């Protein structure tokens, strides 16, 4: 049997580092989460972020707008948060209601407060190898690989999924650590032909059971980012039960999820540390 790459232990390590960093600051870092509407999944994520922030000494506040709010109203809240000197970082919880242009909203966030790392400025800095707020999920995957001492340099990594928030930044972070990276997506013919050659697979799709044992090389490391609600359960993209007989694999839930929240908190503290120095 191969290793289960649990996210719990590496996330605890990140959170204890964060507590030590917070203790060195002259005041508590301040995070604001903006939520528009009452999407139940968003409410669950928001509550988990608020709880985790409180646990590490981050002062977190929720600002809610009704689901029928206009894009203009949200933009004016974003602009007010950009100006508010008491706020170190803020996030606009997605998905946003249909009447809003998500990209325009995200790009209105001041890059110095962009703790989600989703603005075009943050993406450009990441792709150029400059210091930036790294998007929390791919940053969490990197922490997981490092925690379990999975070699990255010179290895072939297949990233399945190419979203701006997960797949693309993931590929660039791996590239910056000298991996040879293949990015696959919904138009990739013969996905298995790519994954079977990979030393590491990062699956970030949202299709339960997409990655089967037959698509995985013996002894590889598989990180499952996917989360799909199936009834009252959450499923990943990987057929964990069978893949774990052939390769190290992260579970869902209990894999990348806890690390994502921890890395977001790390970005909030980074924002406060930077402001302390400026």
Residue 166 Cβ vs ligand NAP, minimum distance, rounded to whole Å: 4
The active-site residue out of 93, 168, 199, 248 is 93
- Annotated active-site residue 246? The verdict is no
**Cβ proximity of 150 and 193 under 8 Å:** no
Nearest-10 crossing angle of helices 120-127, 167-176: 30
CB-hemisphere CA count at 13 Å for 108?
Answer: 19
| Residue 166 in the binding site for ligand NAP (CB under 6 A) | yes
**Cβ proximity of 105 and 78 under 8 Å:** yes
The active-site residue out of 30, 49, 168, 246 is 49
Instruction: Count the residues of the shown chain that bind ligand NAP, applying the rule CB under 6 A.
Output: 26
Q: What CA–CA distances, in Å, run from 86 to 7, 82, 247? A: 32, 10, 47
Q: Find the binder of ligand NAP among 65, 191, 196, 213 (CB under 6 A).
A: 191
- Annotated active-site residue 99? The verdict is no
CA neighbor of 271 nearest in space, from 100, 30, 39, 18 = 30
| Residue 186 in the binding site for ligand NAP (CB under 6 A) | yes
Nearer to ligand NAP, 108 or 211 (CB): 211
Q: For the chain, report the end-to-end CA distance as a whole number of angstroms.
A: 51
Residue with tokens 């972020």: 49
- Annotated active-site residue 98? The verdict is no
Considering only the stretches 13-21, 58-66, 204-212, 239-247, report the one whose residues sit in contact with ligand NAP under the rule CB under 6 A: 204-212
| Residue 163 in the binding site for ligand NAP (CB under 6 A) | yes
Q: Find the binder of ligand NAP among 225, 235, 243, 272 (CB under 6 A).
A: 225
Shortest-Cβ-distance residue relative to ligand NAP: 206
Catalytic residue IDs: 49, 93, 116
């Amino acid at each position: 049997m191969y290793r289960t790459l649990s996210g719990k232990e590496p996330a605890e390590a990140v959170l204890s580092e964060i507590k030590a960093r917070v203790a060195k600051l002259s005041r508590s870092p301040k995070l604001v989460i903006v939520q528009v509407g009452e999407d139940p999944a968003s409410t669950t994520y928001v509550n988990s972020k608020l709880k985790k922030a409180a646990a590490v000494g981050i002062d977190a506040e929720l600002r809610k707008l009704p689901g029928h709010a206009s894009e203009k109203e949200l933009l004016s809240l974003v602009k007010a948060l950009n100006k508010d000197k008491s706020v170190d970082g803020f996030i606009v919880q997605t998905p946003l209601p249909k009447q809003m242009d998500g990209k325009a909203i995200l790009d209105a966030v001041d890059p110095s407060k962009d703790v989600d790392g989703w603005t075009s400025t943050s993406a450009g800095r990441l792709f150029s190898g400059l210091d930036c707020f790294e998007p929390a999920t791919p940053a969490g995957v990197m922490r997981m690989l490092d925690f379990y001492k999975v070699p990255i340099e010179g290895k072939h990594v297949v990233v399945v999924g190419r979203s701006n928030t997960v797949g693309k930044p993931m590929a660039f972070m791996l590239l910056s650590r000298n991996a040879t990276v293949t990015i696959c997506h919904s138009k990739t013919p013969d996905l298995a032909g790519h994954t079977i050659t990979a030393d590491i697979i990062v699956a970030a799709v949202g299709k339960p059971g997409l990655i089967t044992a037959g698509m995985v090389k013996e002894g590889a490391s598989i990180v499952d980012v996917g989360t799909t609600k199936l009834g009252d359960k959450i499923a990943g993209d990987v057929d964990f039960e069978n893949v774990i007989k052939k390769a190290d694999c992260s579970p869902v839930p209990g894999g990348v999820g806890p690390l994502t929240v921890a890395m977001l908190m790390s970005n909030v503290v980074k924002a406060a540390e930077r402001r302390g120095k400026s």
